[in-house]
Amino acid sequence: MADIAAASSQDQTYKRIAVKPIAGALGAEIEGVDIAGGVDPEVFDEIYRAWLENNVIFFRGQSISPAQQIEFAKRFGDIHVHLFNKAMDDHPEITEILKTPEMKSNAGGRWHSDQMYTPVPAKATMLYSREIPEGRGDTMFSNMYLAYETLSEGMKASLQGLKAIHNGDSRNHPSGMTRMERVKAGSIHMPQIDPGKAQTISSHPVVRTHPETGRKLLYIGGHTERFEGWAEEESKPLLDYLKTHATRPEFVCRFHWTENAMAMWDNRCCQHFAINDYDGYQRRMHKIMVKGDAPF
């Protein structure tokens, strides 16, 4: 397998896999891995390192069962279950994301980080493509390390120590509706569950330190409503600026899906955006999330 890395133009420190960046900011396709065939510990260590270094990694041509997807996800950590979206009946670890040709709205169609509104947000999300409308339905990702590092020293100093409130179910959604209102309006298609007593509004540092890389990053997203101790009206101008800044084209990559492909992203240092450009076509994905830790 050593010739895989030698034959490519990227990081030669990978011996068992090839890591091919898809953009300058973040994102790399991994080659030389057959998930169904088994991933030995040395290969997994390289995959994990590539994941930390590139924020999001992609695999193509992986024909795997739900059980194999769950098994691979568990290599990254324990499974995080979505607070609102109902899992598959036969696989409680997996949420099926389906948009049929008749549906208009999609899931994840704005910049966000998964489960940011929970006290312990998901560390990773693994999305596997089962049906893809050819040439459509791409996903974009943005690098929140770069978003932080490119701020002025004055802005960095102002944000240091600030916390932000993230809400999993509010009218600040682009639709202007809560989840139940969207269900009634027919714009949420995924079966919903009652989160019960689970905390769905949480406060986290705006400048977060990644627990594994030690790097600082800007930790805001679509669920962010305001800064802690600030009114929404006071927060909005600065939040709008930071949200726009964080998704500048040079901080972004765009993954062009094919069937049986997998994306694995680090929610701690990425935002993502599911592009809704495939009305009249069907797209079906299997999503698994991995538990994280409390941001600091």
Q: Among residues 130 and 156, whose Cβ is nearest to Fe ion?
A: 130
Q: Among residues 114 and 169, whose Cβ is nearest to Fe ion?
A: 114
CA 67 and chain centroid, separation? 21
- Compute the least distance from the CB of residue 125 to Fe ion, in Å: 6
- Compute the least distance from the CB of residue 115 to Fe ion, in Å: 8
The only residue of 11, 93, 114, 266 in contact with Fe ion, by rule CB under 5 A: 114
Q: Taking CB positions, which residue lies at the least distance from Fe ion? A: 108
Exposed (0-12), middle (13-18) or buried (19+): which is 170, by Cβ within 10 Å?
A: middle
- Compute the least distance from the CB of residue 113 to Fe ion, in Å: 8
Contact 270, 144 (CB under 8 A): yes
- Compute the least distance from the CB of residue 222 to Fe ion, in Å: 9
Segment interacting with Fe ion, rule: CB under 5 A, options 20-28, 61-69, 105-113, 133-141: 105-113
Contact 290, 122 (CB under 8 A): yes
Q: How far is residue 235's CA from residue 251's CA, in Å, rounded to a whole number?
A: 23
Q: How far is residue 131's CA from residue 289's CA, in Å, rounded to a whole number?
A: 20
- Compute the least distance from the CB of residue 57 to Fe ion, in Å: 16
Q: Among residues 16 and 283, whose Cβ is nearest to Fe ion?
A: 283
Segment interacting with Fe ion, rule: CB under 5 A, options 29-37, 113-121, 136-144, 153-161: 113-121
Q: Is 108 in the site for Fe ion (CB under 5 A)?
A: yes
How many residues interact with Fe ion (rule CB under 5 A)? 2
Segment interacting with Fe ion, rule: CB under 5 A, options 33-41, 114-122, 144-152, 217-225: 114-122
Q: How far is residue 89's CA from residue 93's CA, in Å, rounded to a whole number?
A: 10
- Compute the least distance from the CB of residue 110 to Fe ion, in Å: 9
Q: In angstroms, what is the C-alpha Rg of the chain?
A: 19
Contact 217, 269 (CB under 8 A): yes
Interacting positions 43-82 with Fe ion (CB under 5 A) = none
Q: Among residues 17 and 285, whose Cβ is nearest to Fe ion?
A: 285
- Compute the least distance from the CB of residue 294 to Fe ion, in Å: 20
Q: Among residues 93 and 114, whose Cβ is nearest to Fe ion?
A: 114
Interacting positions 138-157 with Fe ion (CB under 5 A) = none
Segment interacting with Fe ion, rule: CB under 5 A, options 12-20, 101-109, 196-204, 277-285: 101-109
- Compute the least distance from the CB of residue 137 to Fe ion, in Å: 14
What φ, ψ does residue 295 adopt, rounded to 5°?
Answer: -60, 145
Q: How far is residue 126's CA from residue 210's CA, in Å, rounded to a whole number?
A: 19
Interacting positions 189-218 with Fe ion (CB under 5 A) = none
Q: Is 27 in the site for Fe ion (CB under 5 A)?
A: no
Q: Among residues 54 and 115, whose Cβ is nearest to Fe ion?
A: 115
**Residues in touch with Fe ion (CB under 5 A):** 108, 114
